[in-house]
């Protein structure tokens, strides 16, 4: 949840995990006469969307797969940065993709070179007639000029 600091009464930081904790200030009496009635809150539909969506149409695994398909010589740090995850998470995702047969990683000097199996069918039973190459082609057609995979807004 994103909180505007000016709306808070007290801001502190958790000593254990470093998370910022904030307590909302009490509403002033003149704010009580809102269009939402007695609750003092605006209707849920009319709130501006200030925080990112909790889900994405393309999973992180799919975003990592699309990124290494476009950038086969990418480092783990580059993959993690493009997907928006930690290097540890990127390692786990690429390991999952390798174990499932979607990606092959070959060591070239001090780096990995990734190869995507474009003929591999998609995992979900309803889409097994489609291949990874068809999916990546569709994603590339939607965002041909970008360097990063398409992500939810």
Domain contains 147: no
Residues 68 and 138 in one domain: yes
| Distance of alpha carbon 22 from alpha carbon 25, whole angstroms | 9
Q: How many domains does the chain have?
A: 2
- Given a cut of 70, whether residue 95 has pLDDT beyond it is yes
Q: Helix, strand or coil for residue 70?
A: helix
> Domain of 116?
60-142
Q: Kindly state whether residues 39 and 64 are assigned to the same domain.
A: no
For residue 42, being part of any structural domain is answered with yes
Q: Decide if 86 is inside a domain.
A: yes
- pLDDT tens-digit series, residues 135-147: 999 888 877 655 5
Helix (H) or strand (E) holding 22, with range, is: strand 20-24
Sequence-separated (6 or more) residues with CB below 8 Å from residue 34: 40, 41, 42
Residue 16 counted as domain residue: yes
> Which CATH number is 75's domain given?
1.10.10.10
Instruction: Indicate whether 67 and 100 sit together in one domain.
Output: yes
Based on the domain organization, do 70 and 136 belong to the same domain? Answer: yes
Helix-then-strand count for the chain, H and E: 4, 4
Q: Are residues 21 and 66 in the same domain?
A: no
Q: Are residues 81 and 138 in the same domain?
A: yes
| Residue 150 confidence class, pLDDT cut points 50, 70, 90 | very low
* Amino acid 151: pLDDT: 44
131 and 67: one domain?
yes
* Same-domain status, 42 and 81: no
| Closest to 132 measured CA to CA, from 143, 144, 119 | 119
Q: Are residues 108 and 40 in the same domain?
A: no
pLDDT, one tens digit per residue, over 48-84 is 566 666 778 889 999 999 999 999 999 999 999 999 9
Q: Are residues 106 and 73 in the same domain?
A: yes
As beta bridge partners, residue 113 has 106
90, 113: one domain: yes
- Mean of the per-residue pLDDT values for the chain? 76
DSSP 5: G
């Amino acid at each position: 949840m994103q909180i505007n600091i000016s709306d808070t009464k007290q801001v502190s930081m958790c000593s254990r995990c470093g998370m910022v904790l904030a307590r909302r200030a009490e509403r002033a009496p003149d704010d009580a006469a809102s269009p939402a009635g007695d609750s003092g809150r605006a209707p849920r539909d009319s709130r501006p969307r200030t925080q990112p969506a909790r889900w994405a149409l393309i999973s992180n695994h799919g975003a990592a797969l699309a990124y290494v398909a476009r950038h086969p010589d990418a480092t783990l740090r580059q993959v993690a940065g493009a997907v928006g995850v930690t290097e540890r998470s990127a390692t786990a995702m690429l390991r999952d993709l390798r174990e499932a047969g979607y990606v092959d990683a070959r060591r070239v000097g001090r780096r990995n070179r990734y190869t995507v199996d474009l003929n591999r069918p998609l995992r979900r039973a309803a889409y097994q007639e489609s291949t990874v190459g068809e999916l990546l082609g569709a994603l590339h057609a939607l965002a041909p000029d970008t360097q990063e995979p398409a992500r939810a807004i």
